[in-house]
């Protein structure tokens, strides 16, 4: 198990506060309706939820930006929203959380992606999505690239947060990867199956097990199959480092020599796994920017995910909670 000296961990946090991390991908607005249900509708065999509260939060790539900010780094958010009421709500909510909207484009031909969840007694009743999965226009792609190039000299790392909603087109990814390589910007990818080959040469690639199966077109079950899959992915995409998240099993990490290490999951109570991948990639990148080793950053990210899955909604990781959990687990060695 990784052990981190207390003072060393504090140095990581200080350096994170000086780090600037770009997040580019599919921005979403997460909407929650909370309530209770005690009867079935007379119109159809579905529960009637009496709404007692509602909440809006940054979702998708926006949640990654929120996590980056929560950890202390400065996020630069790049993405697209629609010219609609949900887009206005998104901008207001983004600003409420202290996030900068300068590089968020408004596309009149696309709706803002909205995921609406209805919950009763802390249980999901239903989720409905409003979205477009069409690729953004060439003009919008060009504007996003120009915005990134303008900001690139101030960026330490870039996270590609892909949900297959059309923002991360093959052309945009390849161009940003090229700029990042030229300027020695760390590249980290939370991928989906579409356009995955465009991320060739990424510094960090973080699929979940299902995504790894889709990319390799085969089932992956045993530890030996996970190891073979990791080696094949690193070879196929010429990756520097790889993380395959394994849900309740934790994560398999592969260093630059393709040597695998499995880090077990830490959460005792799982209420909602949505957003856990966002937390992992943002924490991993933030701590690498802070000077942590790959294995240290992965271990810390694993514990960060264990915190957020315990909440029924999607929340950013809180540094104070993270530190307490790392100390309790013995990862951070307290001062004597």
This prediction has a pTM of 0.93
The yes-or-no verdict on residue 311 having pLDDT over 90 is no
Produce one character per residue of 86-102: b if its CB has 16 or more CB atoms within 10 Å, e if not.
Answer: bbebbbebbeeeebeee
Give percent of the chain with pLDDT exceeding 90.
Answer: 79
* Whole-number pLDDT of residue 240: 96
Q: Catalytic annotation on 153?
A: no
CA distance 22 to 7: 27
Give the pLDDT mean for 9-20: 97
Nearest in space to 304 (alpha carbons), one of 101, 293, 285: 285
* Whole-number pLDDT of residue 314: 63
* Whole-number pLDDT of residue 248: 78
CA distance 31 to 93: 11
- Write the CB contacts of 200 (distance below 8 Å, at least 6 apart in sequence): 177, 237, 238
The yes-or-no verdict on residue 312 having pLDDT over 70 is no
Instruction: Give me the sheet containing 241-245, strands edge to edge.
Output: 104-107, 74-82, 20-25, 157-161, 186-190, 204-205, 241-245, 251-254, 260-263
In the structure, what pLDDT confidence band is assigned to residue 106 with cuts at 50, 70 and 90? very high
The yes-or-no verdict on residue 334 having pLDDT over 80 is no
Sign of the four-CA dihedral 131, 134, 135, 141: negative
In the structure, what pLDDT confidence band is assigned to residue 219 with cuts at 50, 70 and 90? very high
Among the residue ranges 56-70, 116-130, 206-220, 283-297, the one predicted with the least confidence is: 116-130
* Whole-number pLDDT of residue 269: 63
- Write the CB contacts of 306 (distance below 8 Å, at least 6 apart in sequence): 265, 266, 267, 325
- The class that CATH gives domain 4-27+59-112+133-333 is alpha beta
pLDDT tens for residues 148-181?
999 999 999 999 999 999 999 999 999 999 999 9
Structure tokens at 115: 């995921």
Could you tell me which residues are beta bridge partners of residue 208? Answer: 245
pLDDT tens for residues 28-86?
999 999 899 989 999 999 899 999 999 998 999 999 999 999 999 999 999 999 999 99
* Whole-number pLDDT of residue 333: 83
Catalytic residue among 5, 223, 278, 311: 278
* Whole-number pLDDT of residue 194: 86
The domain segmentation of the chain, as residue ranges, is: 4-27+59-112+133-333
The yes-or-no verdict on residue 272 having pLDDT over 90 is no
* Whole-number pLDDT of residue 144: 97
């Amino acid at each position: 198990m990784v052990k981190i000296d207390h003072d060393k961990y504090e140095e990581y946090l200080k350096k994170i506060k000086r780090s600037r991390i770009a997040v580019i991908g599919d921005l979403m607005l997460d909407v929650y309706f909370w309530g209770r249900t005690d009867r079935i509708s007379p119109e159809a065999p579905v529960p009637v939820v009496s709404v007692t509260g509602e909440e809006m939060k940054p979702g998708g790539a926006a949640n990654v930006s929120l996590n980056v900010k929560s950890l202390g780094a400065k996020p630069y958010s790049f993405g697209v929203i629609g010219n609609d009421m949900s887009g206005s709500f998104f901008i207001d909510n983004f600003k409420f959380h202290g996030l900068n909207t300068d590089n968020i484009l408004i596309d009149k031909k696309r709706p803002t992606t909205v995921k609406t969840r209805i919950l009763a007694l802390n249980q999901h009743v239903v989720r409905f999505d409003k979205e477009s999965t069409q690729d953004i226009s060439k003009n919008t792609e060009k504007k996003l690239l120009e915005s990134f190039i303008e900001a690139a000299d101030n960026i330490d790392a870039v996270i590609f947060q892909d949900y297959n909603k059309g923002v991360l087109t093959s052309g945009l990814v390849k161009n940003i990867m090229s700029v990042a390589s030229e300027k020695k910007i760390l590249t980290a990818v939370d991928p989906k199956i579409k356009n995955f080959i465009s991320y060739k040469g990424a510094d960090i690639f973080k699929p979940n097990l299902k995504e790894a199966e889709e990319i390799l077109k085969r089932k992956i079950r045993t530890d030996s199959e996970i190891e073979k899959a990791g080696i094949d992915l690193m070879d196929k995409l010429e990756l520097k480092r790889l993380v395959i998240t394994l849900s309740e099993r934790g994560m398999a990490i592969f260093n630059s020599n393709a040597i695998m290490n499995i880090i077990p999951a830490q959460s005792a109570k799982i209420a909602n796994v949505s957003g856990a991948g966002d937390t992992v990639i943002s924490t991993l990148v933030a701590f690498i920017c802070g000077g942590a080793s790959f294995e240290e950053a992965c271990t810390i990210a694993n514990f960060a995910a264990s915190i957020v899955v315990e909440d029924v909604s999607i929340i950013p990781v809180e540094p104070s909670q993270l530190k307490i959990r790392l100390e309790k687990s013995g990862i951070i060695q307290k001062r004597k």
